[in-house]
């Protein structure tokens, strides 16, 4: 729980710092794509990208060495993933209803796993853990959201196409595993 709380604080303070000093990098473009929206999605994209390596290690160990899985690894992955969402919800209250629902559901899943002590033998903890890791692979989707309506249309196009393929692939793999 300490990792969840400290990560939430870290992400929230990151948002505040970028809000104060990031005017050139995070312009408002529409009523929905605001500076706060860009900041949240940029930070979340970087955080999820950072979860990819430990997530891959966790999945590898889960498949090939199931008796040596360290449940603390799943706690770390889930805590950081959930912290990106709760800090975003606290910082950027002006978001779409479906985004708010997503952030709340992620919190509920994290707390369920926490109270189940991340024991992947009972309940749906295993599925939630796999979902968390595979969702982090789609980090570019959040990067794509941060880049919406930028002036460099070619970059935006390539990020859109790449993130679409990554998102579809991670969803299909997740659905097959689930």
How far from the centroid of its chain's Cα atoms is residue 171's Cα?
14
Give the pLDDT confidence score for residue 142 in this predicted structure: 92
Residue 91 CA: distances (Å) to CA of 73, 83, 108, 144, 169:
27, 12, 19, 20, 30
Give the pLDDT confidence score for residue 153 in this predicted structure: 86
Digit-by-digit pLDDT tens for the chain (178 residues) are 899 999 999 999 999 999 888 777 887 777 777 888 889 999 999 999 999 999 999 888 888 887 776 778 889 999 999 999 999 999 998 888 999 999 999 999 999 999 988 887 777 888 898 899 999 999 999 999 888 887 788 988 999 999 999 999 999 998 898 8
Q: What is the pTM of this model?
A: 0.88
């Amino acid at each position: 729980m300490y990792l969840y709380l400290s990560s939430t604080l870290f992400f929230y303070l990151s948002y505040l710092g970028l809000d104060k000093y990031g005017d050139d990098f995070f312009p408002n473009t529409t009523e929905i794509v605001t500076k706060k929206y860009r900041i949240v999605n940029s930070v979340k994209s970087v955080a999820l990208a950072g979860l990819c390596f430990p997530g891959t290690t966790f999945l590898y160990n889960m498949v090939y060495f199931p008796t040596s899985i360290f449940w603390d690894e799943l706690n770390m992955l889930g805590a950081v993933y959930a912290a990106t969402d709760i800090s975003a919800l606290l910082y950027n209250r002006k978001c779409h209803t479906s985004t708010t629902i997503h952030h709340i559901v992620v919190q509920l899943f994290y707390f369920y796993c926490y109270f189940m002590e991340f024991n992947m033998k009972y309940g749906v903890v295993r599925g939630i853990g796999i979902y968390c890791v595979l969702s982090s692979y789609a980090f570019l989707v959040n990067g794509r959201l941060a880049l919406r309506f930028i002036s460099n249309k070619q970059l935006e196009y390539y990020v859109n196409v790449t993130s679409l393929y990554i998102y579809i692939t991670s969803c299909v793999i997740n659905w097959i595993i689930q």
